[in-house]
A and B are shown apart, each in its own frame.
Chain A
Amino acid sequence: MLEIVFFYIAATVALMATVMAMTRPNAIHALIYLIVSLLAVAVIFFLIGAPFAAALEIVIYAGAIMVLFVFVIMMLNLGEKGNKQERQWLQPSIWAGPAILSAILLIELILVISQTNGPVSVAAVSAKQVGLSLFGPYVLAVEIASMLLLAGLVGSFHLGRRYLDRDNLEKQGGQ
């Protein structure tokens, strides 16, 4: 019973935080709302019997990935000018069309979802089970994931290196 209440609270928080994150002009504010949203989703994971996923959500998503965002935003130094620009870009005329599209998609998804029913299982899926299937039937997926991470590593290094070239730094310092 309590779980259900917690679920609805967490769901509400997640949705509200996401909406806020999507509409803030200030990047850092948006990011903090996003972290709140991710934490709320982690709560939902925990409630539906996936504690391992919940932990990963907090550690990697809300932790590592979001910190990356923070670093980059700090490096870009957007400031008050960026905020003004963002407000200008968020006119109703701009988001009316996308909103309709999203609404249609949402309605469709709801119609599809409404055909399914039944509760989620009570029994939690432990980390051990996850690990077993991860390195059992899904070992190929793990390999692919590792390749993807390697590619991301190389790509980000390659892209970031030029940005940090010495002459570039000097130029920026000179400005």
Chain B
Amino acid sequence: MSETIWLIPLIPLLSSVTLMLVGTRLKASQVGALGVGSVGISALLTLLLATEFMQNQQVIQLSLWTWMEVAGFAPGISFYFDGLTLVMMSVITGVGFLIHLFSTEFMEKDPSYARYFAYLNMFVAAMLVLVMADNLLLLYLGWEGVGVCSYLLVGFWYQHNANGYAARKAFIVTRIGDTAMAMGLLLLFTELGTLDIQTMVGEADQTWQVGATVPTIACLLLVCGAVGKSAQLPLHTWLPDAMAGPTPVSALIHAATMVTAGVYLIARTHELFLLAPIAMTVVAVIGITTSLMAAFTALMQTDIKRILAYSTISQIGYMFLALGVGAWSAGIFHLMTHAFFKALLFLGSGAIIHCLHHEHNIFKMGGLRTRMPVTFWSFMIGSSALAALPMTSGFFSKDQILLQAYQFPEIGPGLWVAGLLGALLTAIYSFRLVFVVFFGSVNTEPDKDTGWRMAVPLSILCLLAMVGGWFMIPVSEVFPASDGSHPAHWVEYVSISVPIVGVLVAYLIFYTGQLKVDRLANSSFGKSLGKLWLSGWGIDLLYDRLFVKPYYGLANKLKSEPVDALYGLIVTINQTLNQWLSSAQSGRMRWYIASMVAGLILVIMLAANLPEGAL
């Protein structure tokens, strides 16, 4: 098995290529079988690999061939497989398979069925390359590959201008981070002479002291890449707009896998980060700030998918917080549980959208509890896990993060309090969603319930979201062990009770209506605050003013080619002179005569002024 791990990314890639080439000639059922089946085989292979790994704990390093060789720089097409890789691969293939299955029903009416699965398979392949890569360059290949697939899938319904705009935005904003990341890679290569992760980490340990400048800069540049990909402040603006894509895409790419690539990158290079405490603090602060910002924003959204998008940003913020405080395994654990429950929530919302004629506004839904029971239970479980109610998967992972954040030196308690506030908000907005959509009066009647291809993935994900917290992720070999100390018990109790309070608040406001917030919301302060939150703290507007508008202005200026205009001036002068001269050449005799006379006058004037005797 260990010699054949390259099959896992290859199969979806082959399927993708096949679908691209002959997809339009296949029947929908064949396309579905190919698209789902390839990922299914990958998932099975991953499962086999996992069982094997559980028995012997053997790290696999497989080098297929040398990619290129330039002046001592020889990155290989080579894979590295350990516990961290296994977790990521399981999420990608497992959740990916479920989402593919879900998609077959969700997209069945779409004319571009084959194109959809071609992109989706390619995404899975690229994501697998990303997590399996042995060196940072191959990782970067996968990194860009998923970026391209994300772009293609966000703009999948490219017939609408807004979707194309969202796709471009997603691509360009992440590109900003990617550029910084490429710079980080170059810096690492020039300093260490290799991009191979394992050797690089060993070299770095010997070359640099803790807190040295070069690793700090390199780590900060890597963080920039991670921030762009994982939609953290200040490069998070693309993710809510990326919801323009089909909902299963949002579930797979923009919740479960691709957006967590940044988390994976930092976890994978955590030895470097240990050399750069400043970079780690930056990661923690970015994470908690993003988390709070996105949680506040999610409170005010009315589009079901945007709520989930902001909640994703917020949850990834938690993962960043975990990474920043050195709780590596907690971060990866949260990554996994988040993949389960957020995929569940997204697929659930996809089911609602599918059955409600593409309705996105939660206030036009309502009362769906009895109409769509499977979806209702999915949402109940997913939201519970998201809110980290006890015994759900989210509870275990988030609890770990908060406890370890508390133990972080100096700013630890501050991070913990902020994290608790985020957890409270998370509980409120997730159950606001549940109460508004599934309880109350029916505003839009669904025309059908979910079919089995939707119900099965939802059910499996429900199960995973419930029990995912008991999984022991095999990363103890990868990350340095925590000191095992526990904070005081009251910290734990507070962490547990906060989400429950949040759910209660949401219940009182949105279900029973006993807690009146209308007065507060309708006051001028409340209104403007709500507006601010609705617009995501106005960051989009700010960027629009700060970057997009000036850039458009500049582009418009350049469109008229100012440098050419300079040369054009020469042309214009010549043309003007030419016009003057050619208008003199009019063929009109009398003008010729008149100009000759004028010349004669001039000549005589000059000649008459000559000194005596010169004539």
Contacts and interface: CB of A to CB of B under 8 A. Distances in A.
Direct contact of A and B (CB under 8 A): yes
Interface of A: 97-98, 101-102, 104-105, 108-109, 111-112
Nearest to A108: B604
Interface string B344-361: 000000000000000000
A101 B598 contact: yes
Nearest to B600: A105
Contacts of B601: 101, 104-105, 108
A97 B593 CA distance: 12
B604 A101 contact: no
A166 to B, nearest CB: 32
A112 B597 contact: no
Nearest to B604: A108
11 contacts: A101-B598, A101-B601, A104-B601, A105-B604, A108-B601, A108-B604, A108-B605, A109-B604, A111-B608, A112-B604, A112-B608
A18 to B, nearest CB: 17
Q: How large is the interface on B (under 10, 10 to 19, 20 to 34, 35 or more residues)?
A: under 10
A101 B608 contact: no
Contact of B594 (A101, A108, A112): A101
A111 B609 CA distance: 11
Given A98-B594, A108-B601, 9 more contacts: A101-B597, A101-B601, A102-B597, A104-B601, A105-B600, A105-B601, A109-B604, A111-B608, A112-B604
A112 B607 CA distance: 10
A31 B538 CA distance: 92
A47 B302 CA distance: 115
B608 A97 contact: no
Contacts of A112: 604, 608
Contacts of B590: 98
Nearest to B590: A98
Contacts of A109: 604
A111 B590 CA distance: 26
A105 B598 CA distance: 8
A102 B600 CA distance: 11
Contacts of A98: 590, 594, 597
A101 to B, nearest CB: 5
Interface string B556-597: 000000000000000000000000000000000010001001
A109 B605 CA distance: 9
Contacts of A104: 601
Contacts of A108: 601, 604-605, 608
A101 B15 CA distance: 90
